[in-house]
Chains A and B, each alone.
Chain A
């Protein structure tokens, strides 16, 4: 199994508060991703990173920011949480991206269940 951990695993917070989720990997993979999973939507990409300090937006990036100051850590921040951000958040990593080959394979963390009241 790929070495990916997410913290916290569960969090309940109130509307308007800031929240930071952490993803940590021990695989030294270049690419890291944040997804949210909601019923009927499958997985939707929030942001991804292609190196230290290099990030880009995904399909549903509004209301989220990310930072990557070290290869192994990728942080997702909700500056002011809203009830619509209640979801399960998954981090993923891959060696490569956009090659169309097997090194594009993404490996997922265990997820963080976030509830915004």
Chain B
């Protein structure tokens, strides 16, 4: 079945460091891929998405490229800020399934 595996956390970085959170997926059809962010005490917010192979999603300095050959959708940011501290979820939905599949989340803490 469809599934998402993402990098275990927690991750702690200094401000202005580079960030990569790994996400790989398994899907039987043609999935759309998503990154969601959850700030403390809040619901999940869509961060970025890509709906087909080689698409790059981007938002707020974050980027992720849909790599079909490696079944990956890694989240990257060149210079993190304290305000990026949150939990990040990779997710997919497929045209052959009836669910939205989430990874277990990666907690990021950015220290000044």
Contact = CB atoms under 8 A, between A and B. Distances in A.
A101 B32 contact: yes
Interface in B38-52: 42-46, 49, 51
A56 B94 CA distance: 17
Contacts of B32: 100-102, 104-105
Interface stretch (B17-25, B67-75, B102-110): B102-110
Contacts of B83: none
A50 to B, nearest CB: 9
Contacts of A43: 44, 89, 102
Residues of B contacting A: mostly: loop
Interface string B77-112: 000000000000100011111111011110000000
Contacts of A107: 46
B42 A100 contact: no
B100 A106 contact: yes
A40 B9 CA distance: 10
Contacts of A59: 99
Contact of A111 (B30, B42, B96): B42
Interface in A72-116: 90, 92, 97-102, 104-111
Interface of B: 29-32, 34, 36, 42-46, 49, 51, 89, 93-100, 102-105
Given A33-B100, A98-B93, 5 more contacts: A42-B104, A100-B94, A104-B100, A110-B42, A111-B43
Interface of A: 33, 40-43, 45, 48, 56, 58-59, 90, 92, 97-102, 104-111
30 contacts: A40-B104, A41-B104, A42-B103, A42-B105, A43-B89, A43-B102, A92-B44, A92-B100, A97-B93, A98-B93, A98-B96, A98-B97, A99-B95, A100-B30, A100-B31, A100-B32, A100-B51, A100-B95, A101-B95, A102-B32, A102-B49, A104-B32, A104-B93, A105-B34, A105-B46, A105-B49, A108-B36, A108-B45, A111-B42, A111-B43
The 5 A-B residue pairs with the shortest CB-CB distance in the complex, in nearest-first order: A100-B95, A108-B43, A42-B104, A108-B44, A43-B102
